Chains A and B, each alone.
Chain A
């Protein structure tokens, strides 16, 4: 009994991929069928994932099946899939969140004419993501990783007729590719060191070989940095919000960006302390940086995007300072509440006919009570509101681990400040969107082209259909409940990931200053919430053009934050300029040096050909023609002799005889 689910595990990613294949073959108007196939495949995957998870609950173990894929000389390259608590938990999370978002998309994308294409891409993404989770080989993981990147590109650029979306898709693809290069190099290096890319292979896998190299670990981490939007490569994630909102929720909040965190968790045995130090620092810096920038954003989705970057930083920090369980706990909790927030934002955008600027919103609470309630739950979970929300427990675990970290305490302070900022910017956003009165500012161009602009936004604003609110409610439920699988008193997730039995221990709460830390972080959250309410909730702005409260206080700082601390501009003048110059040089070389050689050779050949043809024409042919002409002329001359006049012949004959006689006479005499 135990093995069949492992043997059938490959079905989990393959079913959505098949659904994607079917979706690709469907006609554009077969919308219902496309959605049914995609959701059906995802449902079966979800059921299988739950069965696999249940099996792990009964018997926590690491199961894997490897198979030979390709032969290089005498070496067989092996691929395989595995089921262990980490993969199992992630499988359930991805299939569940994915399924909800699929259902949500049916309503959200209802008006879009490329509905079938959307579900085709979404299914392909889900398949690749699930393949990434169960891969027992870094190579297989990398392949799925790249397909995930491809689908991310396709979905960000789903509305490719909008230049911003096309540019964002390109940016995301290229930026993550930089990280993937590191991952590829790390993979090659790892293969050189261990001779295998399988994670687990009865003691022969690369994670079991005991190889731990900082270089390899950092190169693999590069891939995670690109995919998870960590600090140097985070620039693509806010722009990725050009995609449809379900995509932002599924790919750029809940699952794909978490793939980087998952990768680090998966190859954790390879991570040396030095590498983990780097991971922790980058995570902490990303967390604080993105939280700062999120404070000054005005697009509802961009705020959430920067928030995602910030939370991913927390996850990395958790991995770096605390280990797999700490990071993955936050990953799973975050996936639920961030998907909830994004879907809530999507619901708001949907209800407001494509409006994304929070300054133009306001008062949405009145028309969308369900959305507001769910959004509030998501916000509180993200802020880490004490005790009843998952974000509190997961973030607290990270902060606690950072506090205990023996290298430096700076990441802890950065994380704590980030927590304060998180509460602040989320409060700001909620105040802007849901409180006050609807502000009808200058009409901006509709951001979601699928939805036609209504005549009066006030009347048109409506609660979203059940297909959108049901996933919201479910996710809201999990955003609350999930916190209790990883409390310090009952660290079930950690035990599950480490394949041990969980135990209740109330005393854990009081150890290592945990309780005081929890109180401190709660105070920070309250401070953030209070500050946000004080600045934005007390008297909401009346008109969309009004200055932000922070902008009034510190216009320069606000502007800098609003522009993302000019990272894009920095890249534009450094990396892009450099790349542009390299491209120019390459272009010049190509045009004049490498291109010049063929041109010179062809010119030479042409010249030789010309000489050859002239020789042929003017020397050979001319000479031959001349010869022919002279023969013909000679013939004509001789033909004149034979003119048929007997007397002419005789005359010549006589002259010749006379000449002969003269010759003989003179010769005789000489």
Chain B
């Protein structure tokens, strides 16, 4: 098992965990956490493909991932702000209650 395969497996697992969390959690914040996990799995893939790729001497992958983390941080802030706004409006962060479905 090479390093790349191991990294990809980890990132896949991370993605799967994040996906499971995003799908199963009812709390909006935990769904957001799951989404962040999937994002991080993608970031891990970027790093892994850069590190084991043909041009690993140049710092392109790292810079890309740093940007991505930065953008994700901003996005998480926006997401949290939305959740906050929703919470203020609906007094709950439970997704099933927010959609008014039958649960």
Residues in chain A within 8 A of chain B (CB atoms): 643-647, 650-651, 654
Contact = CB atoms under 8 A, between A and B. Distances in A.
Nearest to B16: A654
Contacts of B22: 647, 650
B23 A651 contact: yes
Contacts of B2: none
A425 B31 CA distance: 138
Interface string B41-68: 0000000000000000000000000000
Given A651-B23, A654-B19, A654-B23, A646 B101 contact: no
A647 B31 CA distance: 9
Contacts of A654: 19, 23
Contacts of A651: 23
A654 B23 CA distance: 9
B95 interface: yes
Contact of A650 (B23, B96, B101): B23
Contacts of A644: 99, 101
B99 A643 contact: yes
Nearest to B25: A647
Nearest to A645: B99
A651 B22 CA distance: 9
Closest 6 CB pairs of A and B: A644-B99, A645-B99, A654-B19, A651-B23, A647-B23, A650-B23
A643 B99 CA distance: 8
A644 B100 CA distance: 9
| Prevailing SS type, chain B contact patch | helix
A654 B99 CA distance: 20
Interface residues of B, number: 9
Contacts of A645: 95-96, 99, 101
A10 B10 CA distance: 134
Contacts, number: 21
A644 B31 CA distance: 15
A287 to B, nearest CB: 119
A643 B31 CA distance: 18
A650 B23 CA distance: 7
B101 A643 contact: yes
Contacts of B99: 643-645
B97 to A, nearest CB: 11
Contacts of B24: 647
Interface in B6-34: 19, 22-24, 31
B74 to A, nearest CB: 20
21 contacts: A643-B99, A643-B101, A644-B99, A644-B101, A645-B95, A645-B96, A645-B99, A645-B101, A646-B31, A646-B95, A647-B22, A647-B23, A647-B24, A647-B31, A647-B95, A650-B19, A650-B22, A650-B23, A651-B23, A654-B19, A654-B23
B17 to A, nearest CB: 12
Given A650-B22, A650-B23, 7 more contacts: A644-B101, A645-B99, A645-B101, A647-B31, A650-B19, A651-B23, A654-B19
A160 B49 CA distance: 124
B32 to A, nearest CB: 11
A650 B19 CA distance: 8
A654 B19 CA distance: 8
Nearest to B34: A650
A644 B99 CA distance: 6
Interface in B74-103: 95-96, 99, 101
A535 B80 CA distance: 148
Contacts of A643: 99, 101
A658 to B, nearest CB: 9
Nearest to B96: A645
Residue with the highest number of chain B CB atoms closer than 10 Å, among A645, A646, A647: A647
Contacts of B95: 645-647
